[in-house]
């Protein structure tokens, strides 16, 4: 019996296990003892390790930071490395985000594609290798990360006590495979609001977005105004002219302005509609008195607006691996301070200072400061690299696709773990629904990637 037939025979188990793990909400939360990223993430890891033992593998929990299933003998090992933590579900779901319901051949849930479905696929791919007793020269590990979405503090913890795999892949991007990943930054821009303004309109707060690496789909502002009717009229005119979704509600002595956008992954902000920048576009049209928050809003409208590549900001970069991406992810503003979280990603042949020098030049003299900058260097594998060649060969056995390896803006575990690149799970031409409402994985794709990952693991470990 070959791997593909063996996997077809496990179809119902693969679907059931995928649904079970998707029902666990594993968004990072308050740390507890043995649960460094919160209870939901810990439960998801516990489920994966229990399943690993049920399938006959050695299972290890590394203090709640990371876990792994292992099979085989040998000094060296190859690995499949993915994550069990997910981004917040957000709004706009047609089905319960942790219901894992099946509709039209798709399993709907947060994490279905990113990354829980593919990790279950890898686990059952390894089960097929074990059941067929295929000859291997290396051990195979399925490594369950738990902190990919909010900092990747799990892999450094793993590497403190474990050597890296000699080869591996992470099922956290798209096919055919990713040979280059842009440099990635997340940081805050902060401005103290000393000049308050004392006119007829005062912004009391602005809040919106959930993560720097998500295009925000909601933003809200509280406004105290003497002439509320004038602002409501402005909003109606703004909606008519722009087509954007903005609502104004009266609440006690103030107006609540709500802007609605479309969420997308922060690496492709052009795929979304940024609710924060919709809010800023509207606030830029009302008669705010001279104040620091007015200056900040005007600055962002002038130099960012709805651009997603940093052109007007002056930090645009481009090479053969792609263009710079610029995402405004989160805003928190009160009467004393505004903090905005940005996610900028730059092409592979550039350095951090090529982006940050012009960025800092633009904010000079504005009172805006950069704080809490986190940075990942770009990643690059040549297209003739052995790992690239082996995985491309496996992929083409299953899919009639001669497209070349890709460069992406998304940052994956491949940046954290040596000798690793991103391989699947999204097939060419399929909608990219990660980090969006109504995330799903097609059941037929889930089974196909199980087959692809099984063959890939075998080829790397044989």
Question: Other C-beta atoms within 10 Å of 306: how many?
Answer: 14
Say how far apart CA 458 and CA 170 lie, in whole Å: 15
The answer to whether the beta carbons of residues 90 and 437 sit under 8 Å apart is yes
Cis (ω within 30 of 0) for the bond into 115?
yes
How far apart are alpha carbons 293 and 192 in whole angstroms? Answer: 9
- Within 8 A by CB and 6+ apart from 163, the residues are none
**For the sheet containing 101-103, what is the strand order?**
101-103, 106-108, 440-442
The closest alpha carbon to 355, from 413, 409, 400, 397, belongs to 409
- Active-site choice (28, 85, 114, 432): 85
336 labelled catalytic:
no
Element (H, E) at 441: strand 440-442
Active site residue 85: yes
Beta bridge partners of 221: 206, 257
Candidates 115, 148, 154, 416; catalytic one: 148
Q: How far apart are CA 112 and CA 319, in angstroms?
A: 32
444-458 core/surface letters (b: 16 or more CB in 10 A; e: else)? ebbbbbbbbbbbbbb
Q: What are the CB-based long-range contacts (under 8 Å, 24+) for 306-313?
A: 306/274, 306/277, 306/281, 308/269, 308/270, 310/344, 310/355, 310/359, 313/358, 313/359, 313/362
Among all residues, which ones are annotated catalytic? 85, 148
């Amino acid at each position: 019996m070959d791997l593909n037939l063996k996997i077809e025979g496990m179809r119902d188990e693969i679907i059931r296990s995928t649904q079970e793990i998707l029902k666990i909400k594993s968004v990072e939360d308050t740390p507890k003892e043995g649960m460094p990223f919160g209870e939901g993430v810990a439960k998801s890891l516990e489920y994966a390790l229990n399943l690993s033992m049920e399938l006959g593998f050695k299972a290890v929990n590394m203090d709640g930071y990371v876990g792994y299933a292992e099979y085989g003998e040998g000094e060296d090992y190859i690995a499949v490395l993915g994550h069990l933590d997910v981004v917040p579900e957000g709004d706009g779901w047609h089905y319960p985000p942790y219901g894992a319901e099946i509709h039209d051949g798709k399993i709907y849930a947060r994490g279905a594609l990113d990354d829980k479905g593919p990790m279950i696929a890898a686990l059952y791919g390894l089960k097929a290798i074990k059941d067929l007793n295929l000859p291997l020269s290396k051990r195979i590990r399925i490594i369950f990360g738990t902190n990919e979405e909010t900092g990747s503090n799990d892999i450094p913890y793993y590497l403190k006590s474990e050597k890296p795999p000699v080869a591996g892949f992470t099922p956290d991007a798209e096919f055919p495979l990713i040979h280059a990943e842009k440099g990635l930054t997340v940081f805050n821009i902060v401005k103290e609001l000393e000049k308050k303004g004392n006119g007829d309109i005062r912004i009391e707060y602005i809040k919106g977005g959930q993560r720097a690496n998500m295009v925000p789909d909601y933003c809200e502002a509280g406004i105290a105004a003497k002439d509320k009717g004038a602002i409501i009229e402005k909003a109606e005119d703004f909606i008519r002219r722009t087509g954007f979704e903005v609502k104004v509600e009266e609440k006690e002595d103030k107006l609540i302005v709500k802007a609605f956008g479309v969420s997308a992954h922060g690496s492709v902000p052009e795929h979304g509609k940024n609710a924060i920048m919709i809010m800023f576009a509207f606030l830029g049209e009302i008669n705010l008195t001279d104040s620091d928050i007015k200056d900040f809003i005007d600055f962002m409208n002038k130099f960012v607006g709805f651009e997603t590549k940093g052109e007007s900001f002056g930090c645009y970069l481009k090479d053969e691996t792609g263009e710079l991406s610029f995402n405004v992810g989160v805003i928190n503003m009160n009467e004393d301070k505004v903090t905005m979280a940005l996610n900028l990603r730059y092409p592979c042949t550039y350095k951090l200072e090529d982006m940050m020098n012009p960025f800092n030049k633009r904010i000079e003299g504005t009172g805006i400061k950069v704080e809490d900058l986190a940075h990942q260097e770009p990643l690059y594998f040549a297209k003739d690299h052995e790992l690239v060649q082996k995985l491309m060969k496996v992929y083409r056995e299953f899919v009639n696709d001669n497209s070349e390896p890709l460069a992406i803006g998304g940052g994956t575990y491949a940046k954290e773990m040596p000798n690793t690149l991103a391989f699947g799970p999204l097939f060419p031409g399929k909608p990219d629904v990660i980090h969006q409402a109504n995330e799903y994985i097609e059941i037929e794709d889930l089974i196909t990637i199980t087959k692809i990952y099984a063959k890939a693991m075998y080829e790397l470990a044989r």
